[in-house]
Amino acid sequence: MSMKFDSRDPQAAAFWSERFEKQFTPWDRGGVPQALQDFVARSPQPLATLIPGCGTGYEVAFLAEAGWDVTAIDFSEAAVAAARAATGKWADRILTADFFTFMPEHPPQLIYERAFLCALPPERWPAIVQRWSELLAPGALLAGFFYYDKTPKGPPFGAAEDELHRLLAPYFKRIEDAAVADSVPVFAQKERWQVWRRK
């Protein structure tokens, strides 16, 4: 049986809330990806981290338990409710906010990306990259998962590698790029773990 949705615009919070409420969340990892766990394990110090579009936000409790100062935001109330339920005692680290207008109390040392860029259509990507570049000081990091695919329909909206490079290269230098072994089916073989340093 195929599912019917009222909201068709992924730029609207209602689109995402409807999918959380109907429990149609094929992007949801159900836990913390291994590459992030490895990144945290080898990081020389904890990093003040911002997670835009956190969804269920399993990473919040993981980072907080590791002693990292983490703030996660999502503009969907249903996503924030799911994240708070998944995050237990760290629930106050999750805020309802729109990434494009959110002003963090302190500049993040790391922005963690997973399934946020690919959630929005490519015409919004320059604005996302612009905001990343404004929020991160030189030397700060953008790290996470980047979805490469050729299909124009989404979400998820896949990028061509050179397209993503063109967008990021003016502001960031890529310092890590690795295959991902524990993807959910929708991203399998099509996502890379990457770390980009703000120039």
Ligand X SMILES: C[S@@+](CC[C@H](N)C(=O)[O-])C[C@H]1O[C@@H](n2cnc3c(N)ncnc32)[C@H](O)[C@@H]1O
Q: State the residues that interact with ligand X by CB under 6 A.
A: 13, 16, 27-29, 52-56, 73-76, 79, 98-100, 114-116, 119-120
- Of 98 and 163, which has the nearer Cβ to ligand X? 98
CB closest to ligand X, residue no? 55
Alpha-carbon distance 100 to 11, whole Å? 11
CB of 152 to ligand X, least distance (A): 17
CB of 14 to ligand X, least distance (A): 10
- Residue 168's CB is within 10 A of a number of other CB atoms, namely 19
- Of 173 and 189, which has the nearer Cβ to ligand X? 189
CB of 44 to ligand X, least distance (A): 25
CB of 170 to ligand X, least distance (A): 22
- Of 53 and 108, which has the nearer Cβ to ligand X? 53
